[in-house]
Amino acid sequence: MTHLLAAIGLPYIPGWDELRPFAADLWLIVTIVAVLITPFFITRSNIACALVALAGVTLAFLSQLLVRNSPHVIGEHFRGLLVMDQFAMLWKLLLLLFVAGVILMWFTTTASNMHEGDGPEFFALLLSATLGMSLMASTSNLLMLVLSVEMASLPSYVLAGFRKTHRIGAEASLKYVLFGAVTSAVMIYGLSFLYGLYGTLQVGAIGHAMAAGAIGVGGNALLAVALLGLIVGIGFKVSAVPFHFWCPDVFEGASIEVTTFLSVASKGAALVLLIRVLTTIAAGLGFAPHAGMSLAALAGVIGVMGAVTCTVGNLGALVQTNIKRLLAYSSIAHAGYMLCAVSLLVRHKATIVGEDGNSIAAQAILLYLAVYLFMNLGAFTVAALIYRQTGSEDITHYAGLSRRSPLAAACMTVFMFSLIGLPPFAGFVAKFNLMWVLGTNGGWWWALVAVIGLNTIFSLYYYVRVVKIMYLTPSDAPALNVNPLGLGLAVACAAALVLLFIGLAPLSRVTTNYGKLYLTSQTQQQPAQSTAMITGERR
Amino acid sequence: MDFLSNWLLTILIFLPCVGAVLVLFAKGRDAVRWTALATTIVTFALSLLLFATFDWHQGNGKYAYASEGGVVQMVQQAAWIPAFNIQYKVGIDGLSFPLVILSTFICLLACIASWNIDKMLKGYMALFLFLETGILGVFLSLDFFLFYVFFEVSLLPMYFLIGIWGGPRKEYAAIKFFLYTLVGSIGLLIVLIGTYLYSRSVFPATAGNPVAGTFDLVKLAGPEFQAKVMSVAGMTSAVMKTFFVLLMIGFLIKVPAVPLHTWLPDAHVEAPTPISMILAAILLKMGGYGIFRIAYPLYPNAGKELWLLFAIIGVVSIIYGALCAMSQTDFKKLVAYSSVSHMGFVTLGAAMMTDAGVNGALFMMIAHGITSAMMFFIVGVIYDRAHHRELARFGGIATTMPVYTGFSTVACMANLGLPGLCGFVGEVMVLIGSFQAAKPDSIIMQYTKGAAWPYIMTLAVISCFGVILTAGYMLWTIQRVFFGPEKNEYRGFPEVDRREITVLTPLTVMAIALGVLPTLTMFVFTQQTVNALFKLFS
> Does the beta carbon of A471 lie under 8 angstroms from any beta carbon of chain B?
yes
User: Would you say residue A3 lies in a domain?
Assistant: no
Tell me how crowded residue B406 is: count the other CB atoms within 10 A of its CB.
15
Question: For position A533, what pLDDT does the model report?
Answer: 47
Question: For position A6, what pLDDT does the model report?
Answer: 61
**How many domains is chain A partitioned into structurally?**
1
Question: For position A520, what pLDDT does the model report?
Answer: 63
Look at A464 and B183 and tell me if their CB atoms are within 8 Å: no
Contacts of A515 in chain B (CB under 8 A): none
Q: Give the one of B152, B171, B183 whose C-beta lies nearest to A457's C-beta.
A: B183
Look at A472 and B81 and tell me if their CB atoms are within 8 Å: no
| Distance, first Cα to last Cα, chain A | 21
Question: For position A165, what pLDDT does the model report?
Answer: 80
Question: For position A10, what pLDDT does the model report?
Answer: 67
Mean pLDDT is lowest, of A373-382, A431-440, B96-105, B202-211, for B202-211
Query: What is the DSSP code string of B446-459?
Result: HHHTTTTHHHHHHH
Mean pLDDT is lowest, of A70-84, A351-365, B65-79, B226-240, for A351-365
Task: Provide the residue count of chain A.
Answer: 539
Q: Evaluate if residue B83 carries a pLDDT over 80.
A: yes
Q: Evaluate if residue B288 carries a pLDDT over 70.
A: yes
Q: Evaluate if residue A539 carries a pLDDT over 50.
A: no
Q: Which residues contact A310 (CB under 8 A, 6 or more apart)?
A: A332, A333, A334, A335, A336, A337, A339, A340, A451, A452, A455
Task: State pLDDT tens for residues A237-292.
Answer: 999 988 888 999 999 999 899 999 999 999 999 999 998 888 888 888 777 766 66
Contacts of A458 in chain B (CB under 8 A): none
> Does the beta carbon of A505 lie under 8 angstroms from any beta carbon of chain B?
yes
Mean pLDDT of B154-166: 90
User: Would you say residue A443 lies in a domain?
Assistant: yes
User: Would you say residue A214 lies in a domain?
Assistant: yes
Question: For position A529, what pLDDT does the model report?
Answer: 46
* pLDDT tier for residue A96 given thresholds of 50, 70 and 90: very high
> Does the beta carbon of A460 lie under 8 angstroms from any beta carbon of chain B?
yes
Q: What angle do CA A215, A347, A420 make, to 5 degrees?
A: 130
Residues 63-82 of B with CB under 8 A from A: 79-82
User: Would you say residue A12 lies in a domain?
Assistant: no
Instruction: Tell me which DSSP letter residue B81 carries.
Output: E
Give percent of chain A above pLDDT 70: 90
User: Would you say residue A9 lies in a domain?
Assistant: no
User: Would you say residue A365 lies in a domain?
Assistant: yes
CA distance B219 to B200: 12
CA distance A202 to A186: 19
Q: Chain B closest CA to A489's CA: distance in Å? A: 22
Domain ranges, residue A97: 19-535
CA distance B513 to B525: 15
Residues B213 and A506: beta-carbon distance below 8 Å: no
Task: State pLDDT tens for residues B301-335.
Answer: 898 889 999 999 999 999 999 999 999 999 999 99
In chain A, the residue whose alpha carbon lies closest to the alpha carbon of B246 is A450
Question: For position A349, what pLDDT does the model report?
Answer: 62
Question: For position A531, what pLDDT does the model report?
Answer: 45
Higher-scoring residue by pLDDT: A265, A213:
A265
Look at B186 and A457 and tell me if their CB atoms are within 8 Å: yes
User: Would you say residue A374 lies in a domain?
Assistant: yes
Q: Which residue, among A347, A228, A349, A223, has the nearest Cα to A293 in the 3D structure?
A: A223
Secondary structure (3-state) at A425: coil
> Does the beta carbon of A509 lie under 8 angstroms from any beta carbon of chain B?
yes
For residue B86, give the H/E element and its range: strand B86-92
> Does the beta carbon of A454 lie under 8 angstroms from any beta carbon of chain B?
yes
Mean pLDDT of B345-368: 91
CA distance B106 to B285: 12
Tell me how crowded residue A286 is: count the other CB atoms within 10 A of its CB.
14
Packing angle of the helix pair B170-202, B223-231 (nearest 10 deg)? 80
For an interface test with B, the pick among A504, A511, A512, A513 (most B C-beta atoms closer than 10 Å) comes out as A504
Look at B153 and A512 and tell me if their CB atoms are within 8 Å: no
Q: Evaluate if residue A525 carries a pLDDT over 80.
A: no
Residues B302 and B319: beta-carbon distance below 8 Å: no
In chain A, the residue whose alpha carbon lies closest to the alpha carbon of B88 is A502
> Does the beta carbon of B205 lie under 8 angstroms from any beta carbon of chain A?
no
Question: For position B462, what pLDDT does the model report?
Answer: 92
Task: State pLDDT tens for residues B513-533.
Answer: 999 998 888 888 888 888 888
User: Would you say residue A300 lies in a domain?
Assistant: yes
Q: Give the one of A449, A461, A512 whose C-beta lies nearest to B83's C-beta.
A: A512
CA distance B191 to B186: 9
Q: What angle do CA A333, A338, A343 make, to 5 degrees?
A: 125
Query: How many distinct helices (H) and strands (E) make up chain A?
Result: 23, 2
Query: What is the DSSP code string of B334-393?
Result: HHHHHHHHHHHHHHHHHHHT-HHHHHHHHHHHHHHHHHHHHHHHHHHHHHHHHS--BGGG
Q: Give the one of A402, A432, A468 whose C-beta lies nearest to B175's C-beta.
A: A468
Mean pLDDT of B67-90: 86
Contacts of B156 in chain A (CB under 8 A): 417, 422
